[in-house]
Chain A
């Protein structure tokens, strides 16, 4: 397969990495866009999820939101924002990605806080905890695994979707694939695919480790957990769409 060889040559050429507009520049841009989008979405979705989850209201609205967001193509929103006065800016891309990062975070935070055991809450209140203390010392530690699942799902999705920005003139690693298709250069297409897929998988891996590290209680490192969970349960929440 000459495409494989070409891809290897492309990835093995230091010039392709360090030149301006090369892989490293695009990677930095990709991570900057993704990071801003995740932060923006988290700033909106996590507090909202905490509020709604503690009161237990709004479940219907959240389910509707995550279902509708599944039906809207990310490409459509990216394009629509690109033709608004925002134009071809990173702002437009960040906004579009943040919109799609909200539903997974909101759903998971909501479920996490709603599912805190009533008895535990009551015991905390009986011990004289204030609402703030309960939130910090009781509810947050119990809800944290699901909140982190939401953040991880959203972040992986954002890193994946950020590649689509290249289709509407934006930056990021998707540009390598887009240029490859434009020139019908199979080697470059494959090289771009490897880079983008590796980044997405790496993001997932890093975030799994981070969420294991920040979750209080007995550590259950991901590789060991596989043995003990037999059920092929899909994630309990809207994990969004593959992107």
Chain B
């Protein structure tokens, strides 16, 4: 409101300045956040949905791929090679590749693009985690009569869990940052605020709200996942 008031109060015709330079345009403005709370929460919700969706989908696809790649050396090379090619493609190009097929204004474009990136990070970490399980431990379990499912759930999973969680944390944090590029399709979560502010005559408070929101969201997600890891691996604390 202070912003609008100042804008209308500047009526000096002699000074040839841009309105953007003349009006107070603070970097931090709490009143912007309170006045636009509903909008911000809406974009935040989209940001969270896209991130969670991409990480979950990526994990669901990455796990079987990693299990297959561990089984056969023949598959590990192509899976990793392909994943590093995907990783090299810039996100804007990724969304652009998908746009003709999933619709240039659809959130599906962003979701699929982000899933591909999380998939790349997760396959690598899952495979590293699985390969880190000592072969004699698995053999001992098999000797004790463990079937494949029980072997995975009770031997592989607990031993590989720290690496799995590390992968999930990296994937989540980088996905939170990447969602912003989704603005190209109009589905960028908090990135909408960043570009919206830029387009609204460089409204700094809006830009900063979007940027700081992204960083905070990434930190919160990371802390939550770290807490989850602590909960899931009580034995790591008992050891020390």
In the bound complex, do residue A234 and residue B177 qualify as a contact, i.e. CB atoms below 8 Å apart?
no
The residues of A that contact B104 with a CB separation of less than 8 Å are 181, 184, 186, 189
User: A3: CB under 8 A from chain B?
Assistant: yes
Interface residues on A, range: 35 or more
Interface residues of B in 170-201 (CB under 8 A from A): 170, 173-174, 176-178, 180-181, 183-185, 191, 194-195, 197-198
Query: In the complex, A163 Cα to B208 Cα: how many Å?
Result: 22
By size class, the interface of chain B is 35 or more
Q: Is the CB of B219 within 8 A of A71?
A: yes
Q: Choose among B90, B177, B204, B222 the residue that contacts A73 (Cβ–Cβ < 8 A).
A: B177
A13-B53 Cα distance, complex, nearest whole Å: 40
**Docked-complex contact A242 and B100, CB < 8 angstroms:** no
Q: Is the interface of B mostly helix, strand, loop or mixed?
A: helix
The proximity string for B residues 68-109 relative to A, scoring 1 for CB distances below 8 Å and 0 otherwise, is 010001001101110001011111111011011000100000
Bound Cα distance A192, B176 (Å): 25
Is the Cβ of B96 less than 8 Å from the Cβ of A180?
A: yes
Are A156 and B181 in touch, CB under 8 angstroms? no
> Are B180 and A242 interface neighbours, CB within 8 A?
no
User: Complex formed: what's the CA distance from A72 to B208 in Å?
Assistant: 12
Taking the complex as formed, is B164 at the interface, i.e. its CB lies under 8 A from any CB of chain A? no
A231 at the interface (CB under 8 A from B): yes
Separation of A181 and B93 alpha carbons in the complex (Å): 11
Residues of B within 8 A of A79 (CB): 194-195, 197-198, 207, 211
User: Is the CB–CB distance between A197 and B97 below 8 Å?
Assistant: yes
- List chain A positions with a Cβ less than 8 A from chain B: 1, 3-4, 67, 70-77, 79-80, 82-83, 156, 159-161, 163-164, 166-169, 174, 177-178, 180-181, 184, 186, 189-190, 192-194, 196-197, 200-201, 204, 226-227, 230-234, 241-243
